[in-house]
Structure formats: structure tokens, C-alpha cells
Amino acid sequence: MAWGEAQADDTSTIPFPTSPKVYHFHPIAFVEQMRRMSADLVYKIYHTGKIVENGDYEKAKEVSFVYHDKNGGKHMLGIYTLTEVDTYSNGVKKKKLPKNVNLFDYEAKFSSVYKCDLYYKKRNGKVKTIDISEHMSGNRSGSSNVMLHFNYKSGNFKINFYAQTSRRYAKPECFAAIIGVVVDTGYSDIKINGFTSKDGTGSPSSTHPGGMKVDISNLDTETIKPTASVDTYDANYSRDRTYALCKSLITFGYKSIVTADDVNQKKNTTNIILKSDHTNHLHCQGFIRNK
């Protein structure tokens, strides 16, 4: 069974039995259990919005995520491989580049959003990311049309969310925040629309290099699974549920949310930015981990 798939109700993160009763361990299962405990970078996610990093991000090769629920339970959500991606500046249209610029310094990518090439300037260094689909079910070929599903269950505790994107590479602390948001809201239909692409540009978006900014779908009046797309002017768009999602994103570190709808109704003007071209998703930026 892959991490993130549905698990039996008696799933436990306790590595070994605590009673004095003698047990016989299967050698392969024993090795796998030890591997589960051996990630050299761990993010502990707390229901309060705090995310604690244990380990050396710069040296780590693997990362694991552990959610600490409000009842004291601990939930091991899998070990992910860390992948380095190149860093770039935001993409711009050619006509907005400085005059006499050397185009060899830029990576040109056709954007299906802008219907033209966007030019991304490469920066020095790389950023370590995870492929968020690593423990999701569904076709992981990289197509933006495929719906992927993360499903974890232990007793009455559940984590259930989706991703539909080719921009699947995220800084681990940002992915940890999304896990916190899913649990905090209690919603089972949150859908990630993209962090950054494997090449690091974030194409077809202009503003997604670096694996930190993330697009998330608006929520509708249903609560079971996401529809393909929900615009703010659709009859089934839920302002209340989308606002609750925004509040939770802010709690877990995304300090700026761009949307076409005044979801906060003037209750929190400092964190909500209104832009008319963001009708079908929330653009989440300004991430600062709550330590």
C-alpha cells in the first residue's frame, strides 16, 4: 500500500508495540518500518498553525510529514524524495523585457494562459522541492488534466484532498501548510492547482518559480469532491466555504491571498487582494512558516 492511500482504522504511527507481550516481526516489514522512521528531514504540523522543521533542509535527501492532531495523536503521512529544481525570476512577455537584453539569459516557455511565450531569467542556485503527487493515487504522468487524490485515514481522523496540475513541485514547508489547512477546515474537496513545474519556471504561470506560491481552486456548495473548475460568478460557488479556506491558509502561513471575489466582506482587508482576473482560483503567496 502506498502512503496516502486509505488505511485500516487501526493504523498507528507507534513503531513498535508498547506492551510486554512477545511479538514476531516479519523481516521485510521490520526494515520498512525502520525506513519510515529514518527521513533526515521531518516537518511536524500542529493544529494551531505551527510547523516545526527537524533536520537540515540543505543536506537532506528525504523528508517526512507528521501531523499532530488536537487530541495528541500523531499521523505519519509518508516519506518524500527531495528534488532540486532551478530557480528563476517571474516570467515576462518579450515586449516587457529590457531593451537590448540577451535572450540567451532567459528560458522561453509558451504559456497557455497568456497565449504567448513567457521569458524566465535563471537565477543562481537551486531549491529543494517534493513532487506532491508522490503518495497520491491516479495517473502521475504529469498531465494537468489528471485528477490526483491523497487519502489518509486513521480511526476517525481523515486527510483527503486533490491535485490537478502539471506544477507539482513544492517546497516541503509549503506542502506541510496545505496539509494543515486541509485538516483545519475539515473539507474533503480542496484541490491544488499548482506550485511550480519540474523545470523550475512555473510555466504556464508567470509567478510560480521557487515552489512556494500555490494556486487552489475556489470551493463550491458541494463538500465531497471537487468539480473541474468553480468561478466566482457560478451559481454553485460558495463564498462562505472559500472564505473559511482563506482564513485557514492565512493561519498556516500564506499571508496574501489573491481572488476576484471579496470573500472577506471587509473583515480582513490586509490579507485579501482583489484582482478581476482571478475568478476561478485563489493565488496564495507571501508564505512565512509559523515556527
Report the pLDDT value the prediction gives residue 14, as an integer from 0 to 100.
41
Q: What is the mean pLDDT of residues 172-197?
A: 97
Q: In this structure, is residue 138 part of a structural domain?
A: yes
Domain count, the chain: 1
Helix %, strand %, coil % of the chain (to 5): 15, 35, 50
Is the Cβ–Cβ distance between 119 and 97 less than 8 Å?
A: yes
Q: Between the CA of residue 75 and those of 43, 157, 181, 272, what are the distances in Å?
A: 12, 9, 15, 32
Question: Does residue 96 lie within any of the structural domains?
Answer: no
User: Stretch 4-19: mean pLDDT, rounded?
Assistant: 42
| C-alpha grid cell, residue 248 | 485557514
Decide if 53 is inside a domain.
Answer: yes
**pLDDT tens sequence across 223-282:** 888 877 899 999 999 999 999 999 999 999 999 999 998 776 656 557 888 888 899 999
Which range, of 29-38, 135-144, 161-170, 264-273, averages the lowest pLDDT?
29-38
Q: Identify the pLDDT of residue 231.
A: 92
Q: Report yes or no on 263 lying in a domain.
A: yes
| 104: DSSP letter | G
Residue 49 within any structural domain of the chain: yes
Whether 69 has a pLDDT exceeding 60, the answer reads: yes
The mean of the pLDDT values for the chain is: 86
Percent of the chain exceeding pLDDT 90 equals 70
The answer to whether residue 267 is domain-embedded is: yes
Residue with the three cell numbers 482587508: 269
pLDDT digits (tens, 9 = 90+) for 146-184: 899 999 999 999 999 999 999 999 999 999 999 999 999
The average pLDDT across 121-140 equals: 93
Q: What is the DSSP letter of 230?
A: -
Question: Distance from CA of residue 132 to its chain's centroid?
Answer: 6
> Is 211 inside any structural domain?
yes
**What is the reported pLDDT for 6?**
39
Domain assignment present for 218: yes
Identify the domain containing residue 206 by its residue range: 27-89+114-287
Report d(CA 160, CA 179) in Å as an integer. 9
What residues pair up with 122 in beta bridges, in sequence order?
88
What CATH number does residue 194 fall under?
Answer: 3.30.1380
Q: Per-residue confidence at 22, pLDDT binned at 50, 70, 90? A: low
Task: Write down the pLDDT at residue 2.
Answer: 42
Q: Which three cell numbers stand for residue 190?
A: 480542496
The counts of H helices and E strands in the chain are: 3, 16
